Every structure is written in C-alpha cells, then in structure tokens.
Chains A and B, each alone.
Chain A
Amino acid sequence: MEYLTGQYNYWVVIILMMIGFYIVISHGNLVKKLIGLNIFQVSVFILYISMAYVRGGTAPIDAAEYSLYASPLPHVLILTAIVVGVATTSLGLALVVRIYRAFGTIEESQLSHVEEDD
C-alpha cells in the first residue's frame, strides 16, 4: 500500500500520460489528437515538477526562517518545456486550420478517402 500511496504523484503522471497517448492514437479528429498530445506533454511537466518537490520545502529564498528548499532547477526547466509545448500546439492548430481549408475536413477517416483520390 505504501508503494501505491507513497508515490501517488507518479501514478497520476502515468495515468495522465496514458490517457493522452490513447487519445492521440484512437481519435480521428485532428484537433482532439492535439488535445491528447497536450495532456501527454502536461503529464511530463507534472513528472518534473513533482519530482523536485520536497515535502515542507519552499522556494529557495535566502532567509533565516526557511531551511528546506524545493529544487528550483526542474521548475525552471519545465518553464522552457511549457513554452515549447505551447509553440507545438499553436503550430499544430495552425496546420489543422490549413488542412481544413485545403481538404474541407479534419476527420482522419475522411482525409484518407481524399488522399486516395489525389
């Protein structure tokens, strides 16, 4: 039980990751795929953030009353990764808009029909 509850943050990460992955694989709608991708990425962000958290720790502020700090580095790193994620999503959405204009649909099943015609 300790094994399950003690590291519950990792379980959450794994569950989120799988949900996101499943959406990417199973959904035919291009926007939904992007949403799945986002969930997938967010799970990794949580992995980083929760990994660095120290129970009872605070942000690293150099003051007498605080002695226990959470590691700031993964938080900083994940800020960068979030930016990358935002860029990916926006590029993906832009592509979906263009695809909709070019093909008139964003459903994978209909797109594959169109593809065969080309």
Chain B
Amino acid sequence: MAEHDLILLTILIPVLGSILIAIAGERYRDVREGISLLSAVLLFIVVYLLYQELPESHLEAVKLATVMPGLTIAFRLEPLGILFAMIASFLWIITTIFSIGYMRGNGEPHQTRFYVCFAWAIASAMGVALSANMFSLFIFYEFLTLTTYPLVTHSGTDEAMRSGRLYLGYLLGTSICLQLFAIVWTWSLTGTLDFTRGGVFGGESSEIVVTVLFALYIFGIGKAALMPFHRWLPAAMVAPTPVSALLHAVAVVKAGVFTVLKISVYLFGLDELASSGAADWLVFVSGATIIIASVIALQQDNLKARLAYSTISQLSYVIMATVVLAPLSIIGAAMHIAVHALGKITLFFCAGSIYTASKKKNVSQLDGIGHYMPWTMAAFTIGSLSMIGVPPAAGFLSKWYMLLGAYQAQVWTVVTVIVISTLLNAAYFLPIVYAAYFREPPRTITPHGEAPAPVVIALCLTAVLTLAVFCYPGPLLELVRQIGK
C-alpha cells in the first residue's frame, strides 16, 4: 500500500473504530472491547509499515485539505513523528488490555463513552505525530485536548468537574492565547508554517522577535507542563487510571514535548536557536521545573499525584535536553520520550492494579503489599529504576545521552540538574519499593491477591519492554539519529 494511504489510515482506523464502538455500545460489550483492541492492533501494524517505509520516504506531504491559501492540513513521514506514533499506537494495544480489566474490575460507568473518546484521543495523537506543518499540528493538538476532556471528567463528581475545568482552562487557555498567537505571528513573518529542516526563519528576523516567539511557543504548549502551566496534570489524575496511564503519561504530555522538539528542530532550527540565543533562558526554567516538581513529588502521599509530579519533572528533562541544542542531547531528548513513556505507563498500570485489587490510593498504605501483589510490585520496581535512570532499565539510556550532550555543549547547569534530580527521583521512588517489600503489612488488612489478569499482563509487558529497550537499543537509536537529518 502506498505511503499516502497508510498515513491517512492512521487517522481513519481509530475514528472508524470509535464509530463501531459507539454502535456496539453497552449491550455488546465484548464486541465493543474487541473492536477497540482490534483497531489498536491494526493501527500499530499500519504505523509499523510506515516505519518500514521511512528510509524510502520521498518526504512529500500528503495534503488532506487546503483551508486557506498556503495553509493546509497535511501529513508527512518523519523520524520523530514515527517514533511518537509508534509509542502511542503500541501502548494503546497494551492499555486497551489493561482497560478491559480495570474498567470491568471497578465497574466504571459510561464505558462506551470512555472507549470512544479514547479512540478519538489516539486519532488526534496520530495527527499530532504525523503533521507536516504547524497549522495541522495545532488542529490536532486542540482536538487532543477536547477529546480527552470527557475522559478527565469521566466520573462526573464535583471534583472531576473542577479538574475538568482546570484541565480545559490551562490547555485551551495556553494554546489559544499564546500558541495560536505565535503561529499567526510566524505565518505573518515568514508566510509558511511547514516543518522544514533548519527552520523557516532563515535568520531574517531579529533576535528579540525570535526569542519572544520561542517563548510564546514554549509556554503556549501547555501539554509540556512546563512550570508555571503545570497544574492541569495533577488535576487530570482524577480520571480512571488507564486514562492517566496512556494519555497523561504518554499521548497528551508526550504530544506536548514532541511539539517542543518539533518546533525547535523543524520550525526554528537548532542553528537559528543557537545563534540567536533564543532558547538560553529555557535551560533555567526547565531545570527549575525538574527540581521543584521532584520536591513536590516527595511530599505527595497520593500515589497517582506523586507519579503526576514525577511526570512533570521528566517532561522538563526533554525540554531541557532539547534546548542544550547539541546533536547528542537531541538524541537523548527523543529517546526520553520513548523511554519515559514505557517506564511511566508501567508505574501507572501498577497504581491502577493496586487500586483495583485493594482500593488503595496512598503511598502510606502500601506497607508490605509486595507480598500480596508480587508481579505488580516487581514491575513497579523496574519502572522506578527506569525513572531514576539505573541500568538495566531503559531510563539509563536517555539520561546517558543527555549527560553526554550537556558535556559536549559544556552546559554545566544541565549536568548539575540531572544529578540532583536523579537523587530526588530515588528519594521519592525507592521508599515505596522498600515499604512494599520490607515493611510488615498492617494487621487490619484483609488479604487480597493480584488484580485481574488483563491488568497484570499489561503491566508485565511494559515492564519487560523497559528492560528490553535497554538490552536492544539498536532500532530506537537508529531512528532517533535520523531526526533533523
């Protein structure tokens, strides 16, 4: 099949899937979940085929519609996009397996709406990944916000509604006020929004303009959760765990940092950023975000909140590595998107598993839980190691490249921040592991077993993958090396 059709299929499969899911409805729930799983598998196959096409790709954009002269909705194959699409589509399969166990195990309401919105969110994420210009990326970025909103407010409680408002307010607010502003400004300056190697500015705009524009983009991408626009992410944790796992550890937040990488490499160009110094300030902001978020994570007792703050800090790793602007650190940043996705989704799956089996939400309640849930806690340990960046977990790889890049560029701030935050990561993850295995469980506890099988299978899969990527990093490295080339 031609590259052209395959790209369109990445959007079409989840959309068609969602329609079929809606038709199947609550009455045929096995069919509904079957369709969900099937479209996830199909989508991954399509993305994989696209990955195979990548070397021969003629890099021509696939135009879907021309909205205004020069402004098109178009898609293009490109290594970074493929990387993001691969992660999102692959983890969608696993998350669907997990969701089946979780949603049934907890008897959640509105399950059809859940699966439909989930498929839409994936379609939007695919659109973000494969967009050929900033205009189309913005469209799918906004759709991603809107389609995940019903998932955040899923439970319909007052708390969920409040969080939903916060979620929408932050994400739409930043994207409309700052990002759209920046996009129109770019358009009026350069007359193009296409992602081009080396950027679109061509050194003609003044340094101040480029700096302001870059800042508008960076803060406009609220999904990257850079402080001070990070509050939506902990708020979004009221959603059911599969949502937190796939969307708020992978699809949504990664769409944010992916966009940051994309505009840095393909809209501004690394050389332009380096020569104008437009990105220098960002090292400090992202560094501060890493440290502050880690410190906040230390104080969180709610497990998902702790994971959320950990995500905020890990996202800023990607941003910080990007703005070091060295080739090696770009590799590190791109790898971290993949590696953190695997690690964090494992951790969220574990949180979901613990909640399903024991209804526990807080870190302080986890004493001795490793005895009841050995598989879950083993996976949790691997995930934690990956977050900290210890071999044999994949997190080590990306941190290694980031450090190399920072060393290469002689940016000592970055090295310091990485070292400090590694310590902090260890400080908020290892006590959980310790308590789970080495503390006595409280006597009042009613013994419980593992979560339902689909849940455990899902989290073991991602944990194993986290290890596998460390052992066989070849394909991943190959892919990220092509970025910007």
Instruction: Consider the complex of A and B and state whether they touch directly, i.e. have CB atoms less than 8 Å apart.
Output: no
Residues of chain A whose beta carbon lies under 8 Å from any beta carbon of chain B: none
Residues of chain B whose beta carbon lies under 8 Å from any beta carbon of chain A: none
